[in-house]
Chains A and B, each alone.
Chain A
């Protein structure tokens, strides 16, 4: 298997990835938690979920974002948090792409009330770009720079890797 470039395990890059990804999702979650009805309207506008699960999604998704964001910033459960946020981002990419391809001109709902940006390929690219730090954090949790990713995890000796 081809070895990944060394800079992808750079401790400062990983630290920045973990904290910035966490912050983005904390900022995204707070307005949705404050105004769940608005977020539910945004979800409904995508016309992807059956109506009866729209409110449950509007209740749970922002709390997944907030929990993962806080865990990432705090440096615990970083592997699970980055995996969950990666899965959410992939879901958003699919949902926004589907909306754009169907010609729906709807509010993205990405940052709820603070962001009334319509869906578009720019939003898809934003989410794909956010997948990069999520992937970096996920793949390095057990790597040599693990100490900057997950504080409670003991750092494995460098000799055990590669």
Chain B
């Protein structure tokens, strides 16, 4: 029996993998789109976050993002560093750190809770009973970090409708020397 060349063998194995992968993806309910699209981010006005008294904010609808929702694609409502400072200072909503537990331990925004997006089993009970219109302010490391958006999408699917993403994340916050906890600080 003549042995197949290495190149042909590799091509055969790769063909099996690629065809199986795309076929399975096409029929799987968990399948993903073939092309990942850049997230849609919408800046949120101060008035929408702070225009109403703090104690009623979590009940107020945030209209800008609702208007920007297009074709079922996730829309992330992004806040700036100044807005985030005010959110923290006025203790509005729940601040959620979507990064890994070790990153959270090393340092996080004061008052933030760690809901690492890749391990929902470890925290889902903590948010299960929260009113679904609770204001959730989510952050990750920086605008490239996907965990914050991932967490927002998970919580959105869980029914939460009032979320903000502080897109500059921990990198932006710590670079500005703002109040932090963890890593020996409190």
CB distance from A71 to the nearest CB of B (A): 6
CB proximity of B39 to chain A, nearest CB, Å: 9
Closest to B25 in A: A59
Among A37, A42, A47, which residue has its beta carbon within 8 angstroms of that of B32?
A: A37
Q: Mark A80-103, 1 if CB is under 8 A from B, else 0.
A: 110110000000000000000000
Contacts A56-B34, A60-B18 given: A84-B13 contact, CB under 8 Å? yes
Tell me which of A4-12, A14-22, A62-70, A123-131 binds B: A62-70
> In the assembly, what is the distance between CA of A36 and CA of B32, in Å?
7
Q: How far is the CA of A64 from the CA of B18 in the complex (A)?
A: 7
Contact A36 B31 (CB under 8 A): yes
Chain B nearest Cβ from A108, distance in angstroms: 10
By a CB distance below 8 angstroms, the chain A residues around B37 are 51-52
Q: Which residue of B lies closest to A142 (CB)?
A: B3
A32 to chain B, nearest CB (A): 10
A54 close to B (CB within 8 Å): yes
- CB nearest to A50 among chain B residues: B36
Report yes or no: A116 in contact with B116, Cβ–Cβ below 8 A.
yes
Residue A143 interfacial (CB < 8 Å): no
> Which chain B positions have C-beta within 8 A of A68?
13, 17
B17 adjacent to A60 (CB under 8 Å):
yes
B20 within 8 A of A: yes
Instruction: Judge whether A67 and B13 touch: CB under 8 Å.
Output: yes
Q: Taking A59-B22, A64-B14, A84-B13 as contacts, is the C-beta distance between A118 and B32 under 8 angstroms?
A: no
Contact of A41 among B14, B28, B31, B147 (CB under 8 A): B147
Q: State in angstroms the CA–CA spacing of A58 and B33 once bound together.
A: 10
CB distance from B59 to the nearest CB of A (A): 31
Residues of B within 8 A of A (CB): 1, 3, 6, 9-10, 12-14, 16-18, 20-22, 24-25, 28, 30-38, 99-100, 102-103, 106, 116-119, 141, 144-147, 150
**Given A33-B24, A36-B31, 13 additional A-B pairs, CB 8 A:** A36-B30, A45-B145, A51-B36, A51-B38, A52-B37, A59-B32, A64-B14, A66-B17, A77-B12, A80-B10, A113-B118, A116-B116, A118-B100
